[in-house]
Chains A and B, each alone.
Chain A
Amino acid sequence: MADEALFQFLHNELIQYVNNAESGENENGRCVSKLENIGFRVGQGLIERFTKDTARFKDELDVMKFICKDFWTCVFKKQIDNLRTNHQGIYVLQDNKFRLLTQLSAGKQYLEHSPKYLAFTCGLVRGGLYNLGVKSIVTAEVSVMPACKFQVMIQKM
């Protein structure tokens, strides 16, 4: 089934829509946070459906591994390429070929637009973690398309 393509098209429309709706000053920030919130809702729902038959997680790292492997494979068809942590609540997830960026030109031309294409996913991860009992702040950055890094900062509850 090719519904993966369907999701990508929908994701693009979502960005387009939110971007147009928030065209005022300070637009980029609001656009990103709106997309992030939408992603958050989806992440919450998705993780509940996904983990209902799985074993209990050992610890935070176990949760993060689950996000990097199972969750990522499911949503983006590949695993996170590199997971790093400082063991003090900061995790960096690196994806060398992030699915939602592969449709964009690899040069520097659209680099400034990349936050919009990552905001939904940041929310998705935050929502997923939130419903697994891990409160966090997720940010993303791109230096060279289509590779990107997601930084997860765990907030102690």
Chain B
Amino acid sequence: MSRQSNRTTDNKKMNSELFTLTYGALVTQLCKDYENDEEVNKQLDKMGYNIGVRLIEDFLARSSVGRCHDFRETADVIAKVAFKMYLGITPSVTNWSPAGDEFSLILESNPLVDFVELPDNHNTLIYSNLLCGVLRGALEMVVQMAVDVRFAQDTLRGDSVTEIRMKFIKRIEENLPAGDE
């Protein structure tokens, strides 16, 4: 049958489209349920966080990355391994702050927004805010790192690239049982 011909090559793309479309349907639902965009942003971040704390286990199991020795290394792993593995893109790491505690991930393309156009009445919606939550949750859970993550630029709002700004806040120590390490 002619229908079967290009199936295998399509498979991967289809699966990421499933994710993209499902995410879109979720955001749509949130916009219906909540009155304002801030609430939606907050909810997306929360859901992302929940995903992040689970995703990191999956990530460590799949990838064979070892312990990162500094924030720069962490940044590289996030960009080159994690983003590549889950979203199929490799953002570039730039704009380091002089103190080395803050950097930007520049996404040339963002698979989450493949089929998206923001309507005029949602101009404060941070569509891909889930990503911030995922990053925050993942780093907090296993790597014990508190970070601040936010979107600095977004192609959906007319910027030329999508930029995620990550700021290191502190190492979380209190979870360690006494006498450990």
Q: Which residues of A contact B (CB under 8 A)?
A: 1-7, 9-11, 13-14, 16-18, 21, 34, 38-39, 41-42, 45-46, 49-50, 53-55, 66, 70, 73-75
Known interface pairs A17-B43, A46-B14, A74-B14. Does A7 touch B26 (Cβ–Cβ under 8 Å)? no
Closest to B62 in A: A2
The contact sample of 25 A-B pairs, CB cut-off 8 A, is: A6-B87, A7-B18, A9-B51, A10-B23, A10-B51, A13-B47, A13-B50, A13-B51, A16-B47, A17-B30, A38-B22, A38-B26, A38-B29, A42-B18, A42-B25, A50-B10, A53-B6, A54-B2, A66-B3, A70-B3, A70-B4, A70-B7, A74-B15, A74-B18, A75-B14
Judge if B67 is at the interface, Cβ distance under 8 Å.
no
Which residues on A sit within 8 Å (CB–CB) of B86? 1-3, 5-6
Cα-based distance from A21 to B34 in the complex (angstroms): 11
Q: Which residues of B contact A (CB under 8 A)?
A: 1-4, 6-7, 10-12, 14-19, 21-26, 28-30, 33, 43, 47, 50-51, 54-55, 58, 62, 84-88, 115
Closest approach, in angstroms, between the C-beta of A75 and any C-beta of chain B? Answer: 6
Q: Do residues A49 and B26 form an inter-chain contact, with CB atoms below 8 A?
A: no
Q: Do residues B7 and A49 form an inter-chain contact, with CB atoms below 8 A?
A: no
Cα-based distance from A41 to B18 in the complex (angstroms): 11
Which residues on B sit within 8 Å (CB–CB) of A17? 26, 30, 43, 47
A55 contact from B2, B7, B28, Cβ within 8 A: B2
Q: Do residues B19 and A6 form an inter-chain contact, with CB atoms below 8 A?
A: yes
Which residues on B sit within 8 Å (CB–CB) of A4? 15
Cα-based distance from A45 to B50 in the complex (angstroms): 26
Q: Do residues B26 and A3 form an inter-chain contact, with CB atoms below 8 A?
A: no
A7 contact from B22, B29, B54, Cβ within 8 A: B22
Q: A1-B85, A38-B29, A42-B22 are in contact. List 16 more A-B contacts (CB 8 A).
A: A1-B12, A2-B86, A9-B51, A13-B47, A17-B43, A17-B47, A45-B17, A46-B17, A46-B21, A55-B1, A55-B3, A70-B3, A70-B7, A74-B10, A74-B15, A75-B14
Cα-based distance from A18 to B26 in the complex (angstroms): 10
Cα-based distance from A12 to B50 in the complex (angstroms): 10
Which residues on B sit within 8 Å (CB–CB) of A74? 10-11, 14-15, 18
Q: Do residues A11 and B15 form an inter-chain contact, with CB atoms below 8 A?
A: no
Q: Do residues B22 and A14 form an inter-chain contact, with CB atoms below 8 A?
A: yes
Q: Do residues B26 and A9 form an inter-chain contact, with CB atoms below 8 A?
A: no
Closest approach, in angstroms, between the C-beta of B117 and any C-beta of chain A? Answer: 14
Cα-based distance from A14 to B26 in the complex (angstroms): 7
Closest approach, in angstroms, between the C-beta of A95 and any C-beta of chain B? Answer: 16
Closest to A66 in B: B3
Which residues on A sit within 8 Å (CB–CB) of B22? 7, 10-11, 14, 38, 42
Closest to B23 in A: A10
Closest approach, in angstroms, between the C-beta of B9 and any C-beta of chain A? Answer: 11
Q: Do residues A54 and B58 form an inter-chain contact, with CB atoms below 8 A?
A: no
